[in-house]
Structure 1
Amino acid sequence: MKDVIIDDSFWQTYPEAQINLMWLTGFDNHDTDDNLAERQELLRTATAESDKFTKVDPFRNNPVVAEWRDAYQQFPKRKGARSSIEALLKRASQGHEFTPIEPLVDVYNSISLRYGVPVGIEDRDKIAGDLHLGTAQGGESFFPLGAEEDDPARAGEMIYYDEDGAVCRSLNWREAQRTMLTDDTTNGIVVMESVNADQAARANEAMAALAELIPTYFGIKPDKTAVLTAETK
Structure 2
Amino acid sequence: MKLTISKQIFEKFPKLNVGIVIAKGIDNKSKSKEIDHLLKEVEDYINLNFIPEDITKHEMISPWRTAYSEFGAKPSKYHSSVEAMMRRILKGNSVPNINKLVDLYNYLSLKHIVPMGADDLDKISGNITLTMAEGTEKFTPLGENSIESPEKGEVVYKDDARVLCRRWNWRDCDETKITENTKNAVLYVEGIPPVTKKKLVEVCKDLIDLIKTFCSGEAKYYILNKEKDSAEF
Does the aligned pair in 1 maintain the 2:122–2:184 contact within 8 Å?
yes
Q: Which residue of 2 aligns with 1:142?
A: 139
**Structure 1 gap ranges (5+):** none
Does the aligned pair in 1 maintain the 2:60–2:194 contact within 8 Å?
no
The change in CA–CA distance for 1:45 and 1:193 in structure 2 (over 3 A counts) is same
Q: Deviations over 1:56-94 (max 9, x none)?
A: 843322222211110101113478221101101112223
CA–CA distance in 1 between the matches of 2:116 and 2:150? 21
**Equivalent AA in structure 2 for residue 10 of structure 1:** I
Q: Which residue of 1 aligns with 2:169?
A: 172
Q: Which residue of 2 aligns with 1:43?
A: 39
Q: Which residue of 1 aligns with 2:3?
A: 4
Say if 2:138 is the partner of 1:133. Answer: no
Q: Give 1:1-233 correspondences, 5 Å limit.
A: 2-32=1-31, 35=32, 37-50=33-46, 54=50, 57-77=53-73, 80-198=77-195, 200-222=197-219, 224-233=220-229
CA–CA distance in 2 between the matches of 1:40 and 1:149? 32
**Structure 2 gap ranges (5+):** none
What's the % identity of the aligned pairs? 29
**Equivalent AA in structure 1 for residue 55 of structure 2:** F
CA–CA distance in 1 between the matches of 2:48 and 2:148? 36
Does the aligned pair in 2 maintain the 1:21–1:190 contact within 8 Å?
yes
Deviation at 1:50, TM superposition (A): 3.6
Does the aligned pair in 2 maintain the 1:138–1:153 contact within 8 Å?
yes
CA–CA distance in 2 between the matches of 1:7 and 1:52? 39
Comparing 212-221 and 124-133, the one that deviates more: 212-221
Deviation at 1:26, TM superposition (A): 0.9
Q: TM-score, normalised by structure 2?
A: 0.90
Comparing 73-82 and 126-135, the one that deviates more: 73-82
Q: Secondary structure at the match of 2:144?
A: coil
Deviation at 1:120, TM superposition (A): 0.6
Does the aligned pair in 2 maintain the 1:10–1:135 contact within 8 Å?
yes
Does the aligned pair in 2 maintain the 1:77–1:154 contact within 8 Å?
no
Does the aligned pair in 1 maintain the 2:18–2:224 contact within 8 Å?
yes
Q: Secondary structure at the match of 2:218?
A: coil
Q: Secondary structure at the match of 2:195?
A: helix
Aligned residues: 228
**Equivalent AA in structure 1 for residue 121 of structure 2:** R
Deviation at 1:143, TM superposition (A): 0.5
Q: Deviations over 1:37-64 (max 9, x none)?
A: 2121111112233458735843322222
Q: Secondary structure at the match of 1:137?
A: coil
Q: TM-score, normalised by structure 1?
A: 0.90
Deviation at 1:202, TM superposition (A): 3.8
Does the aligned pair in 1 maintain the 2:23–2:218 contact within 8 Å?
yes
Does the aligned pair in 2 maintain the 1:39–1:100 contact within 8 Å?
no
The change in CA–CA distance for 1:64 and 1:142 in structure 2 (over 3 A counts) is same
CA–CA distance in 2 between the matches of 1:136 and 1:185? 27
Please list every run of at least 4 consecutive aligned residues from structure 1 whose deviation after the TM superposition is greater than 4 angstroms.
none
CA–CA distance in 2 between the matches of 1:178 and 1:163? 13
